[in-house]
Amino acid sequence: MKPAWAFAAIAWVTILAAGGCGRPFGRHAGPISVLVEGGGRFPAALAGRWRSDQHGWEFVFEPDGRISSAVISLGRVSVTPGRTTTVPTQSGGQAVFTPGPWTVHYDPGARMLTVKIAMEHVRVPMAANVLEGSSTDVFAGPVLASGDTWQVEWTTFTHYTARADGSTPVDLSTDSTYGEARPLVFTKTNQ
């Protein structure tokens, strides 16, 4: 009886390791995970460009819920998931933006849309100074019944360090538990 029990235990561990445990229904598409409560599909009507009323954020949602690009607040730089973006700075340097995993979660019952944007590495030289680190930004809130307005609470968790030539680095990180939160309103545009 012991060999059968051992075989069952090994099989169970293998299934959990290979398939995940307690993972919500969703689809992992490379650097982006799209999760829809109840196993449904992301509403194709939400596809398109969404712009925030402040801080420069923009998201372009595909009909399946993936984000094909985002304009992030820091530098108003357009970033593509899974690809490092390099842009020239005014001081002649190169700013580097490397995204981490992104997640889109939609709850159709509450019309609640949540987006998590992780930037794995950011490095922005500014004259003799350099800002470097990582960030995670979470946008959560309801999409109005009209389908063209998304009211969110934006919470940012930054892990940035600023340093100047020969000086001690300055920690510019937000609180790791609470981050920094503020309301934003995104509007779907026709562009």
Among 74, 68, 76, smallest CA distance to 135 is for: 74
What is the distance, to the nearest Å, from the Cα of residue 135 to the centroid of all Cα atoms in its chain? 9
Q: Is the pTM of this model over 0.85?
A: no
DSSP class of residue 169 equals: -
Q: Which residues are CB-contacts of 69 (< 8 A; sequence separation ≥ 6)?
A: 59, 60, 78, 79, 80, 81
The full set of domain ranges for the chain reads 25-189
pLDDT 10s digit of each residue in the chain, 191 long?
Answer: 444 433 333 333 333 333 333 333 344 446 899 999 998 999 999 999 999 999 999 999 999 999 999 999 998 999 999 999 999 988 888 999 999 999 999 999 999 999 999 999 999 998 888 999 999 999 999 999 999 999 999 999 999 999 988 788 899 999 889 999 999 999 999 76
- Alpha carbon of 35 to those of 4, 57, 82, 101, 180: distances in Å? 37, 22, 18, 13, 25
